[in-house]
Structure 1
Amino acid sequence: MLLTFAILLTTAVLLVSLSRRLGLGSVLGYLVGGALIGPAGLRLVTDVHDIAEFSELGVVMLLFLIGLEVRPRRLWVLRRAVFGLGSAQVAATGVAIAAILAAGGLAWPAATVLGAGLALSSTAIVLPMLAERDLLGAPAGRTAFAVLLFQDLAFVPLVAAVPLLAMGPSSHGLPTEVPWREVGLGCAVIAAILLGGRFLVRPVFRAIGGARTPEVFTALALLVVIGTATLASLAGLSTSLGAFLAGVLLSDSEYRHEIKSTIEPFEGLLLGLFFLSVGMAANLGLAVAEPGFFALALLGMIATKTLVAFLLARLAGQPDASALRVALSLCQGSEFSFVLFAAAVGVGALDQEAADRATLVIALSMAATPLLFAASERLVIPRLGRERPRVFDRIEDDGAPVIICGFGRVGQIVGRVLRMRGIAFTALEKDPAQLDVVRRFGEGVYYGDPTRHDLLRAAGAERARVLVVALDDMEEVLQVVDIARRNFPNLKLVVRARNRRHAYLLMDRGVGDLVRDTFHSSLRLSELVLRDLGIPEAEAGRAVALFRDYDERRLVESHAFYTDEKQLIQSNAQAAEELTELFAADQRRLESEAAARSRVGAGD
């Protein structure tokens, strides 16, 4: 076993380094390396099944990490792309491929299974491929992610529907039997994962995190991933779906970033082993025996998937370059298709020979995708007038005592005040358009992502005194705070909160110096309204100050129960009454003081 792992690691180091040096990405290096050392190549490794079963944990961990990034609120924002474009891609591609296969003489159950399986794309290939080119945050990356997310969600019902294709119709034209037991078991396991993630796993993470035991924390993180995948597998569901749901449930946890940093090294290594196993499992003998058939099948599948995805992306409003990136990133088959075909063979909806041929076509498409995508980036995308991703600036640490994360409308004002006082600062801005506008006015700002630990360190976070977090995105603000707390504990944090809940989340992290985005400007606006209504300036200022002090005090007091919606609603109602009484009491005091001054004046 040690010799086998030595061979695998050596192959990964050599082939992946060569592939990336040639600009073809790491995935192709893994696939070619696996084919080279596998049973169809040099036969240095022959126990492919055991390696594949173990390395599938890489795909499981990838879906768990995806779940950590997909907050329920973000999923709701992406609902049109996920359920609209995603469902359209799977349905249109599946119908098109099934129709072509049926026209070629294949029985309709087999054609349906193959159409559904080949319509899926490989999350494990697409996301790393896009990440290597910094495209995950681009429109093409977000669109591809949305489609892949729908495919992951659709995989379970697709597998559940496979037995129906092998059942004979009854006199009413309906299946003679529906696997209600399996359906019920699957629903029960999903419910168990959801409830366990919400009421059990989070408290355990808090207990372990509070104990400051990194090795136990790592073991718990791995247990969550493997445990949820095992539960899903026992119920006949996708292991990746179980891990994805667990990730989503932990996406709002205060330990989300620490969990992510713990899982990522394991995910990267196991995902590489998975690609190696795919390359080793490819039956290249079939391709050698029938090169014409497999060349035509590969070309037909890639052409069909690319055309359908390109047209749908254009209909969704993507420009040509972005639509082409989406289409070429989704043109391969999926690792989940292997499971779908195996289930179809087991119930007799698909014969083994057809499954073997389809599996080889998928493996070849996985190897072809990085080549096609790299060729498109070099030869086609530049001609479509699309700029390549901008490279972050090299940041020079000049010993500035202040770092400003985000140089938009808030960060710029902070910077101008500091410059007026002669205080040096380092500003990071990751929006290229905003950066270009700022630089036209002579501002010295670095292009960089402040949510990256290495860029913060390069900006001098270890020696700086104050970190100003003025980003627009609430999640990014929390991420920067978590990174700073964990890696730069000596930094004083001054943070922009977008709203009241965001302020609560920052207070959870121990941030004391926070400013709600529109709070003070709204107070000033209220004071002007009172003055324009004829209220004396001093009285208007006193009323606004009274409200400000009361609201800030209530913010601190309600932090203890802000997650309890019922108590929070009651507290807000009580606060409204208290505020009314407070203003009335203050008004009576003002009237009493005025009357006293009047009596004194009359006595004079």
Structure 2
Amino acid sequence: MAGQLLPTSALSDALVILGAAGIVIPAFARFRITPIIGFILVGLLVGPYGLGSLAQQMPWLHYITISNPHAIEPFAEFGIILLLFEIGLELSFNRLWSMRRLVFGLGAMELIGSALLVGLGLMLLGQPVAGALGLGLALALSSTALVLPISGTQGPVGRAALSMLLFEDIALVPIIFLLGAMAPVAAANAPSLVETLWKGGAVIVALLVFGRFGLPPLFAQAAKTKSPELFLAASLLVVIVAALATGAAGLSPIMGALLAGLLIAETEYHGEVEAITKPFKGLALGVFLITVGMGIDLRVLAANFGPLALGVLGVVVAKAVVTGLLLLFWGKERSTAIETGILMSSPSETTLIVLGTAAQAQLIQPATAQFWQIVTAIGLTITPLLAKVGQLGAGRVRNRARADEVAVEEPEGRRTVILGFGRVGRLIGEMLAEHGRPYLALDAEPAVVRAARAAGLPVLFGNIDSAAVIDRLNLADASAVIVTMDEPVLALRIVRKLRTLAPEVPIIVRARDPGHAAQLYRAGASHAVPETLESSLQLSEAVLVDLGVPMGPVIASIHEKRDQFRQQIMAEGELAAPPRLKASRLRER
């Protein structure tokens, strides 16, 4: 009998999960509502505090409810691992290195500041110092699983959120060790932090070596078979091995998953890996959200509505204020500070881990831990609503700022579209204007857009992933589209999207190196020019020739701009590159 019940129970659980994915995602997508809320509501409905509580009286409910919530927790953990793996695929080691100031500066200040403010508030309410510190650190964490799918990893909000969340993921292990060390009776045989760090460091080095020398031949062999199943198996093998390795060393498994994504992102196969694993990420994330919903007991919520509401409000306000003020101090726009602060204000799935550690270390009472676990579940549930509030608040701030902007006439008819108006994009705009070619630029940095519009340049604020922005650019009628962002994975994704939306429009792209250029050509780019300062001149030449400007005037203007660059380099004495590359890049010119 027991041998029959287990498979039946597992099959009914699978039926609920797959049914939720098949119903919730299309239904909420139809109304342009994030499916995050739908999955949480499904968990609330079919969990042990919903219809699952009636399964003993009505046995048929066993087939549409989750009979054992703990049985699907490993799948929820695997969903978070796949999410961090996908994030790693969108990054690169160069980008992480460029973000180090944000990760270890802004990220550390945000976590410590939020923990201190929340902990101080709890101390004023009578919580002992050790317990207040443990609760503060737990509640200061924000949800990687929910925030990044909403914010993305690009744009001002995405980059700020990513940097803070990366630091929180790194700090999770030291936090757990700190709480264990603060326990009234610390375990004598517990491993030391130093031991865990050196073991973890050795594992990370080993993974880096394997990623450099082992991954390319592994995926090359999988690609030769032309078998999607084998390619998927190789991808999942890398993720699981990396997660298990860091977990065995005492670090977080999600750190291994992130590292696996970073390693694969450095290979030429990362685009195929990202495409083939994305459906699994969405399904596994849905399982995690269902477990969150199953942890909410509506009866307990109703009986303690006032204290729980105050707890959620206090945490959200404290974290939003700290994060927003830090972003302003860091020089970010008010709209970015508002949107990011509110988005990061709810607790995290890892908050539940830290709360369990604090309770096990006897820093807080079990009833206190249960109260804040419910607060965390509610906070996770309202994260999409907080994101919408943040977007509305940021939009109002941006609208007021636009009212004070200098009015700029946007060119009508056929025009060149420049995606990214940094140094490279601005130079291309100057070259187009010099030859009488109208253009319209797009950038996601409010400061860049405001400065450009103040100078009378036709630049819009927006993200290329927004459907409304794409409609406004009218890409199908563009003379050409130029992609200037120095983010290889983002550039590749944009080229694929642009080629689908505008099959006949020339697409000229800034590439990092010849390998990246080859990937861009395969994705549909008309021209892919490897970077350096010279690349801006080559991009300008390519687009002007494609637009029909005679070669003679183009070459003359390119030489003039090159002379201007050389004068600026001699005057300023530095390039936008690491100092060790200056001499070699000067020789290239």
Same-fold call, TM > 0.5?
yes
Q: Relative to structure 1, is the Cα distance of residues 143 and 477 closer, same or farther in structure 2, using a 3 angstrom cutoff?
A: closer
Displacement after TM superposition at 1:363 (Å): 0.4
Letter in 1 for 2:517: L
Aligned equivalents of 1:213, 1:274: Cα separation in 2: 30
C-alpha contact (below 8 Å) 1:405/1:450 kept by paired residues = no
Please name the residue that 1:161 is paired with: 178
Shift of residue 410 of structure 1? Answer: 8.1
From 131, 147, 167, the equivalent of 1:110 is 131
Q: Deviations over 1:77-132 (max 9, x none)?
A: 2222222111111001111222222333333332222111100000111122235x
For residue 399 of structure 2, give the secondary structure of its aligned residue in structure 1: coil
Q: Is the 8 A contact 2:84 2:257 kept in 1?
A: yes
Counterpart for residue 99 of structure 1? 120
Distance 2:401 2:150 in 1: 15
- After superposition, give the CA deviation of every residue in 1:135-183 in whole Å (9 maximum; x if it has no partner): x5332232122211211121122123232111569xxxxx998455444
Q: One-letter code of the match for 2:353?
A: V
Corresponding residue for residue 37 of structure 2: 28
Written as runs of structure 1 = structure 2, the 5 A alignment for 1:328-407 is: 328-378=342-392, 380-386=393-399
Pick closer, same or farther for the CA change 1:58–1:418 going to 2, 3 Å: farther
Matches within 5 A, 1:40-51: 40-43=49-52, 44-51=65-72
Q: How far does residue 69 in structure 1 lie from its aligned partner after superposition?
A: 1.9
2:103 is equivalent to residue 82 of structure 1: yes
Q: 2:336 — aligned with what?
A: 322
Structure 1: give runs of 5+ residues left out of the alignment. 170-174, 390-399, 421-426, 461-465, 524-540, 545-567, 580-604
Maintained 8 Å contact 1:469/1:495 = yes
| Cα distance, 1:306–1:19 mapped onto 2, change above 3 Å | farther
What's the secondary structure of 1:212's corresponding residue?
coil
Contact 1:430-1:450 within 8 A present in 2 as well: no
| Worse overlay, 404-413 or 100-109 | 404-413
User: Secondary structure of the residue that 1:240 maps to in structure 2?
Assistant: helix
Note the alpha carbon deviations across 1:361-405, whole angstroms, 9 max, x for none: 100111223223324544x4444343899xxxxxxxxxx9xx988
The verdict on how the C-alpha distance between 1:497 and 1:104 changes in structure 2, with shifts beyond 3 A counting, is closer
Looking at structure 2, the residues matched to 265 and 388 of structure 1 have their Cα atoms a distance apart, in angstroms, of 39
Could you say which residue in structure 2 is the equivalent of 1:548?
none
Residues 264-314 of structure 1, C-alpha deviations (whole Å, 9 max, x = no match): 111011101110111112344432332222222222211211221222122
Give the match for residue 301 of structure 2: 287
* Equivalent in the alignment of 2:405: none
Rg larger in structure: 1
Call closer, same or farther: CA 1:58–1:384 in 2, change over 3 Å.
same
Instruction: Provide the rounded CA distance (Å) in 2 between the counterparts of 1:289 and 1:468.
Output: 58
The TM-score, its normalising length taken from structure 2, stands at 0.70
Conserved 8 A contact 2:176-2:357: yes
Distance 2:496 2:337 in 1: 35
**CA shift in 2, pair 1:285/1:222, >3 Å:** same
Give the counterpart letter for 2:13 in structure 1.
T
| Residue 197 of structure 1, aligned match among 203, 211, 216 | 211
In the alignment, which residue of structure 2 is the partner of 1:247? 261
- Pair 1:39-2:48 in alignment: yes
Distance 2:365 2:32 in 1: 39
1:295 to 1:17, Cα distance in 2 relative to 1, 3 A:
farther
Deviates more, 1:78-87 or 1:505-514: 505-514
The answer to whether the 8 Å contact 1:429/1:450 transfers is: no
Cα distance change of structure 1 residues 97 and 406 upon mapping to structure 2, 3 Å threshold: closer
Using a 3 Å threshold, how does the CA distance of structure 1 residues 493 and 228 change in structure 2: closer, same or farther?
farther
Pair 1:137-2:166 in alignment: no
CA RMSD of aligned residues (A): 5.0
Q: Which residue of 1 aligns with 2:6?
A: none
1:54 corresponds to which of 47, 71, 75: 75
Normalised by the length of structure 1, the TM-score is 0.68
Where in structure 2 are there 5+ consecutive unaligned residues? 1-9, 53-64, 403-413, 539-555, 560-580
CA deviation profile, 1:432-470 (whole Å, cap 9, x unmatched):
869x98xx9999x9x994999xx9xx978xxxxx99865
Aligned mate of 2:13, from 4, 7, 18 = 4
- Label 1:290 to 1:308 Cα distance change in 2 as closer, same or farther (>3 A): same
CA distance in 2, matches of 1:307, 1:416: 44
| Contact kept in structure 2, 1:410 and 1:470, CA below 8 Å | no
- Would you say 1:149 and 2:166 are equivalent positions? yes
Q: Which residue of 1 aligns with 2:142?
A: 121
Question: How much identity, in percent, do the aligned residues show?
Answer: 29
Instruction: Tell me how far apart the structure 1 counterparts of residues 463 and 137 of structure 2 sit (CA, whole Å).
Output: 42
Report the equivalent of 1:471. 484
Report if the CA contact (8 A) 1:229-1:243 is conserved: yes
- 1:192-271 mapped onto 2 (5 Å cutoff): 192-271=206-285
Residues 521 and 527 in structure 2, CA contact (< 8 A), matched pair in contact too: no
Partner of 1:158: helix, strand, or coil?
Answer: helix
Deviations 1:543-564 (A, max 9, x none): x9xxxxxxxxxxxxxxxxxxxx
Cα 1:388/1:317, change in 2 over 3 Å: closer
Per-residue CA shift, 1:40-86, capped at 9, x if unaligned?
11112231111122122111111111112221221222222222111
Q: Distance in 2 between matches of 1:150 and 1:326?
A: 16
Work out the CA distance in 2 between the residues paired with 1:238 and 1:442. 47
Residue 418 to residue 272, structure 1, CA distance change in 2 (3 Å): farther
Deviations 1:216-253 (A, max 9, x none): 11111111112211222233321111101111222221
What SS is found at the alignment partner of 2:382? helix
Aligned partner of 1:529 in structure 2 is none
2:109 aligned partner, one-letter code: A
Indicate conservation of the 8 Å contact 1:468/1:493, yes or no: yes
Structure 2 CA distance for partners of 1:492 and 1:315, relative to 1, 3 Å: closer
Change (3 A) 1:375 1:414: closer
Match for residue 306 of structure 1 among 311, 320, 324 = 320
Aligned to 1:502: 513
Paired amino acid for 1:188 = A
What does 1:576-595 align with in structure 2 at a 5 Å threshold? Answer: none
Q: 1:32 to 1:451 in 2, by over 3 A?
A: closer
Q: Which residue of 1 aligns with 2:542?
A: none
Work out the CA distance in 1 between the residues paired with 2:290 and 2:493.
35
